[in-house]
Amino acid sequence: MFISSTVDTIRALHTSADTLHAAAAHGGQQGEENLFVELLHHVQDSHQLNLPFFGQIDLPRFNPVTLAGITVDFSITKHVVFLWIAAVILTLLLVYAARKNTRTRVPAGFGNLMEVFVVFIRDEVVLPNMGPKGLKYLPYLLTTFFFILTMNLLGLIPYGASATGNVSVTAGLAAIAFVMIQVAAIRAQGFGHYLTHLTGGVHWALWPIMIPIEILGLFTKPFALCICLFANMTGGHIVIVSLIGLIFLFRSYLVAVAPVGFAVGINFLELFVAFLQAYIFTMLTSLFMGVGMQAESHSGSEGEEHAQ
């Protein structure tokens, strides 16, 4: 599991070995560019799946659809497949854990492991950031955490891919988080106070400046979630590709020991990053939701002070 990205990279290097020899023979730059593309192939999205014993399998492709002047391609890609796989695996495992914990009063084994994560998210993420009122959003935050974690871990197995390494996937997760952040704020404050909060509490003469800034701030939060998850899940694979590529850069297998050793070490780090990024995304989402939910109590306390 820890060396799967190294295995995938070496497999890509075998494919590009002929390209490297051709580049050396002709002394051209085009061959080197093709080699770089081959090295990055396993971290990019594609319309093919590489499976053991089956080789390369082409995924279904559909004609693009134009909606309101925007062309959308609904073709199935590698990252879409692994996103579906993550959803199926997560559903099966959590249903199994729930049924197991229902049958026994004291959770044990896999059910106990899942309870550890659930209690951690509840006590260390939801309650500190959102308070007791945030418990009704616990199912969403747990789903976010486990779904991101599963997608991250799938990128560490041989022939696997991290769907979170696709900015479209992280943007989708961030869009859902954006909706939940606004829903939590509106339900806690009321729609009228929610709109009033966009003025920043300043004099009406400054509203033309403050309102656009506040609206922009609503979108910067999910944008940060999107880019943070995407960049961190892609960065590790890029580093591994760079290290293994040193072997072919120097065109000698004598330097292979150090890059491969470093790549294996980075894969251990990637396992930690998979858990860390799932936690960070969930924690920041709950924090942003909590800020909107607690705005009502702050405004209420300020009103009481003015009344006094």
- Residue numbers of the chain with a pLDDT score lower than 50: 1-7, 9-10, 12-28, 31-32, 299-308
Q: Measured between alpha carbons, how far is 123 from 131 in angstroms, rounded to an integer?
A: 10
- Cβ-in-10-Å burial (0-12, 13-18, 19+) of 87 comes to middle
Find all residues with CB under 8 Å of 219, minimum gap 6, and list them: 178
Instruction: Tell me the chain's radius of gyration from C-alpha atoms.
Output: 24
Output the pLDDT for position 135. Answer: 92
Output the pLDDT for position 14. Answer: 45
Output the pLDDT for position 43. Answer: 67
- CA nearest to 235, candidates 154, 164, 177: 164
- Do the beta carbons of residue 156 and residue 273 sit within 8 Å? no
Give the start-to-end residue ranges of the domains of the chain. Answer: 78-300
Output the pLDDT for position 297. Answer: 54
- CA nearest to 42, candidates 292, 254, 294, 245: 245
- 57 forms beta bridges with 49
- CA nearest to 98, candidates 72, 68, 118, 73: 118
Query: What φ, ψ does residue 180 adopt, rounded to 5°?
Result: -65, -35
CA distances from residue 231 to 16, 115, 165, 235, 246 in whole angstroms, order as listed: 26, 30, 7, 6, 22
- Do the beta carbons of residue 276 and residue 145 sit within 8 Å? no
Number of Cβ atoms within 10 Å of the Cβ of 132: 8
Q: Measured between alpha carbons, how far is 217 from 295 in angstroms, rounded to an integer?
A: 15
Q: Measured between alpha carbons, how far is 17 from 105 in angstroms, rounded to an integer?
A: 58
Output the pLDDT for position 21. Answer: 45
CA distances from residue 63 to 55, 57, 60, 77, 81 in whole angstroms, order as listed: 25, 19, 10, 14, 18
